[in-house]
Each structure stands twice: as C-alpha cells, then as structure tokens.
Amino acid sequence: MDHIVKPGSKANNSLWAENPSEINLKDTELNNFVDVAIIGGGFSGLWSAYHLKKLSPSLSIAIFEARELGFGASGRNGGWASSDYPVYKSTLYKRHGKERTDFLFASLNNSIDEIGEFARQHAEKTGFVKSGTISFARNEGQVQRLKALIDDDHHWLSSSEVRAKLNVDGALGAIFNPKCATVQPYELLIGLARELIKLGVKIYTNTWASEAPSGVFANSHFVRADKVIRATEVFSNPNREFIPLYSLMVATEPLSEATWSQIGALERFTFSEASHLINYAQRTVDNRLAIGGRGATYPLGSTLKESKEMTSRVHKKPSCIGALMVSNSQRRSIYACLGRRSRNYSRLGTVCTFQ
C-alpha cells in the first residue's frame, strides 16, 4: 500500500525539531536484497528495526522514509511516554480475560522503563523523566469517570493533593499514574536512528517506497526482501484501518521559575483534564508550557489536508491557560507567549481548552 505524503508537503519545522542533535545519514546506494524492509521513518518503523536487531543481530534491515525522519506524528507529538491504554481495564477483562489484559499492562509499564534506559544511554537531549501523569477533574462527571480507573497503578488525589502538584482552579481531585514519563520526542527519534546506524541498519530518507511482491520498490528501484513492514500508519492510502485524527500544539517561550512556582508541575509530569475533548500538556525540558488537543474536523475519506492543519482560527484559541491558578500578570505573560510568540510543536489537530 502506497503512502500519501505529497512531494510539496512542508518539512518538520516544529519546535521539537529546532536545533536537533546531529545524525550522519550518508547517501548510500540501495541494496538489491535485505532480510527486512521497513517503510516509514517514525517510531513504529525505527523501534521495529531496533528490536529485530536485538533479537537477531545478523539481520540485514533497511528503512525507507519518503521525507525526513520524524516527518509525521513521531516528530510532532505531545511528548507523553504513557503506560495507559485508551480502554477501561474492566472492559479488556471482559473482552480478552484477566491474564492477557494483565500481561498487556505489565508490558506497557515495562516499555516506559525501557525507553528511559535507552534515552539515558543514547539520547540524553530527550530529557526523559519518569514523573507520572495527572488527569484532573473539575466537575462531578469527570470525578466519576476518573474514580472508575482506580487500581494499583492509578491513585486518587484529593483536591488539596492536586493543588500541591498543579495549581488548577476548581480541581475536585485527580488520578495520578506514576508509571508514565515526559520526553522530547524528536530527540528520542534521532537518538534511536543514530543507534540503528551503529547496529548496521540502512536508513534511506527522501526515498519513496511501496510494497511489492517479494519486496519493495524504492525510488523505482526494486529491493527484494524476505519480510516487509509497513510502518506508515495514517500516511498510507486512505482506508478504514487507520483514521487520521488531527491534533495541534502550541508552546510558550521558556517561562521563569517564578511562573512555574505558581503553575506547579515542578517534577515535569504530564497533565490533562478528564474532559471529553482531548487535551494534553507538559513542562518541556527547556521550561516551556506545551499544550495540545484535538478538535479539527475529520476529513471525508480519511484524506490528509494541510489546509486543516494550519488554520489561524484554531491557533487563536489559547484558552487552555484558564484552569491554571496564576496571578493576572503571570497569566498575561503566558497568553502573550502563546499569542504573539507561540511556536508550533505539531501539525495534526487543534488546541485544547482545559474547560
């Protein structure tokens, strides 16, 4: 299945990709054969190559990326390394049984530690910190939804306990999961690519590849492969297997310690409100407030349209600061950073509202 990135699409000019760590991607000729061909230079493709190499170091692996590494969501996401799953555990118990469900969540928890260990060894600029995630409630409906999540990994925080961590106006309580982490996603991706090159994986950027019988066509050159992994996700042809969900982020300039002392999030945990509208935020490694959410309309036929991704109407709604209890002067300072000098982190979606 072909990917649908357009040749004229803009490069990743998000703040995550500003001043990245160096990576030496040498121009090399395409091999005629590899054991595994991977289409897509995001986390799905690169982590697949990494674990395959760890399991079988003798494998020859090539990754083909139509644009640049991290061009899609892998280089423009919210920076959450989350052990949560978007389905109630009780529902999974009913569908798949306790043993398989518990194995899933144990694997999710272990994956966070594995990412952290990798970041410490190979991607220091990732700013990985396992400080958890907070989902807070500001009305009774949200309280009931969050309390249904309480288990060994999700602890209930009272309103005063929430306030001690994050100065949220009207917080009635929150769920805290200590087994989540905060990262700079683009730096994690670049660190992963550097390690793959050391392991002998060939990475080809600006190389269009499509699956073919017994291999792939890469820039019209046939590469025979025993196995092909399609890791393009929503950048595949429109279908009903993957649906593009748009999400945008904005980020302030670096905020002072005085401002952060009022906001909270001193440990750099990720946080969100338990509303029906998707929203997410983090304190970045360089002390910015980065906020994102979903709200752009679904494109008919699952097509990707850059006109939906960069709409000024969406960018002019930085109301996500409303729940943070800071002084009026500090609030005006944050709004100013978001309004006059905000920087895009990602290009799929809309700004959250925290309301």
Amino acid letter for position 234: V
249 shares its domain with 353: yes
Task: Tell me if 71 is assigned to some domain.
Answer: yes
Task: Tell me if 137 is assigned to some domain.
Answer: no
Task: Tell me if 124 is assigned to some domain.
Answer: no
Q: What is the CATH number of the domain that holds 194?
A: 3.50.50.60
Task: Tell me if 135 is assigned to some domain.
Answer: no
216 shares its domain with 313: no
286 shares its domain with 352: yes
Amino acid letter for position 169: D
pLDDT tens for 224-245 read: 999 999 998 877 776 666 677 7
222 shares its domain with 254: no
**Residue pointed to by tokens 């390690």:** 195
265 shares its domain with 344: yes
**Residue pointed to by tokens 């920087």:** 343
The Cβ of residue 285 has, within 10 Å, a number of other Cβ atoms equal to 17
Mean pLDDT (whole number) for 271-289: 92
Amino acid letter for position 166: L
255 shares its domain with 340: yes
342 shares its domain with 208: no
| Two structure tokens written together for 261 | 């002392």
* Total domains in the fold of the chain: 2
229 shares its domain with 301: no
- Biggest CA–CA distance in the chain, Å, is 63
Beta carbons of 187 and 70 less than 8 angstroms apart = no
Per DSSP, 235 falls in state G
Considering 205, 235, 265, which residue would you say is the last residue of a domain?
Answer: 235
In this prediction, residue 15 carries a pLDDT of: 87
74 shares its domain with 41: yes
Burial of 117 by CB count in 10 Å (0-12 exposed, 13-18 middle, 19+ buried)?
Answer: exposed
In this prediction, residue 332 carries a pLDDT of: 52
Task: Write out the H or E segment, with its range, that includes residue 198.
Answer: helix 185-198
Considering 219, 235, 251, which residue would you say is the last residue of a domain?
Answer: 235
Task: Tell me if 330 is assigned to some domain.
Answer: yes
Task: Tell me if 290 is assigned to some domain.
Answer: yes
Asked whether the predicted pLDDT for residue 314 surpasses 80, the reply is: no
Task: Tell me if 170 is assigned to some domain.
Answer: no
247 shares its domain with 330: yes
Task: Tell me if 93 is assigned to some domain.
Answer: no
In this prediction, residue 182 carries a pLDDT of: 97
| 337: Cα separation from own chain's centroid | 23
230 shares its domain with 303: no
Which residue range is the domain that position 306 belongs to? 243-355
62 shares its domain with 195: yes
The model carries a pTM of: 0.85
pLDDT tens for 118-153 read: 999 999 999 999 999 999 999 999 999 999 999 999
| Two structure tokens written together for 217 | 């066509």
pLDDT tens for 259-268 read: 999 899 899 9
